[in-house]
Amino acid sequence: MECHHFHKTGDWRRTCPVYHEDLKAGRVKPVDFVDQPLSAAALVEQQVEENPAQAATTGFKQGWPSSEVLGPHSVITIHGLRHQHIKSLLASEFNHRNALTRVALQFQPCIVAALQSWFQMGKINAFYQVKKVALEFMGRYMSGLELGPDIDALDKLFSAVNEGVRAQPWNFPGTPFRHALQCRKKLTEKLTLQLAKKKKEGKEIGEESDMMDRLMQSKDKEGKHLSNEEVVDNVLSNIAISYIGIAYLVTWAMYFLAKNPHVLQKIREENMEMAREKNGAEVTYEDLLKLKYTNKVRNIRAIPTTVSVILNGGSKLQCVCLDIMIL
pLDDT given for residue 181 in this prediction: 94
Helices 126-143 and 228-259: crossing angle, nearest 10°?
A: 150
Q: C-alpha angle 77/78/84, rounded to 5°?
A: 120
pLDDT confidence band for 155 (50 / 70 / 90) = very high
Nearest CA to 225 out of 213, 214, 234, 216 is that of 216
**Segment 242-254 mean pLDDT:** 89
- Cβ atoms 146, 140 nearer than 8 A: yes
pTM over 0.75: no
Is residue 36 scored above 70 in pLDDT?
no
- 120 or 305, greater pLDDT: 120
Average pLDDT taken over every residue of the chain: 78
pLDDT given for residue 183 in this prediction: 95
Domain boundaries of the chain, sorted by first residue: 1-33, 80-259
pLDDT confidence band for 98 (50 / 70 / 90) = confident
Q: What is the pLDDT of residues 114-129, one digit of tens each?
A: 889 999 998 999 999 9
Residue by residue, DSSP assigns 125-160 as -HHHHHHHHHHHHHHHHHH----GGGHHHHHHHHHH
Catalogue the E-assigned strands of the chain: 61-62, 311-312, 315-319, 322-326
Cα 152 to its chain centre, rounded Å, is 17
pLDDT given for residue 21 in this prediction: 78
**Segment 102-119 mean pLDDT:** 85
Q: Which has the minimum average pLDDT: 38-42, 149-153, 237-241, 253-257?
A: 38-42
- Cβ atoms 212, 143 nearer than 8 A: yes
- What is the CB neighbour count within 10 angstroms for residue 99? 17
Amino acid at 119: F
pLDDT given for residue 204 in this prediction: 76
CATH topology of domain 80-259: Cytochrome p450 (1.10.630)
- 63 or 260, greater pLDDT: 260
- Cβ atoms 69, 181 nearer than 8 A: yes
Amino acid at 319: C
Q: C-alpha angle 284/91/130, rounded to 5°?
A: 55
Name residues whose C-beta falls within 8 Å of residue 131's C-beta, 6 or more positions apart in sequence: 155, 243, 244, 247
Tell me how long the chain is: 327
Is residue 187 scored above 50 in pLDDT?
yes
Nearest CA to 140 out of 112, 117, 106, 183 is that of 106
Give CA–CA dist 73/90, Å, rounded.
14
pLDDT given for residue 158 in this prediction: 93
Give CA–CA dist 324/52, Å, rounded.
19
H or E element in which residue 54 lies? helix 52-57
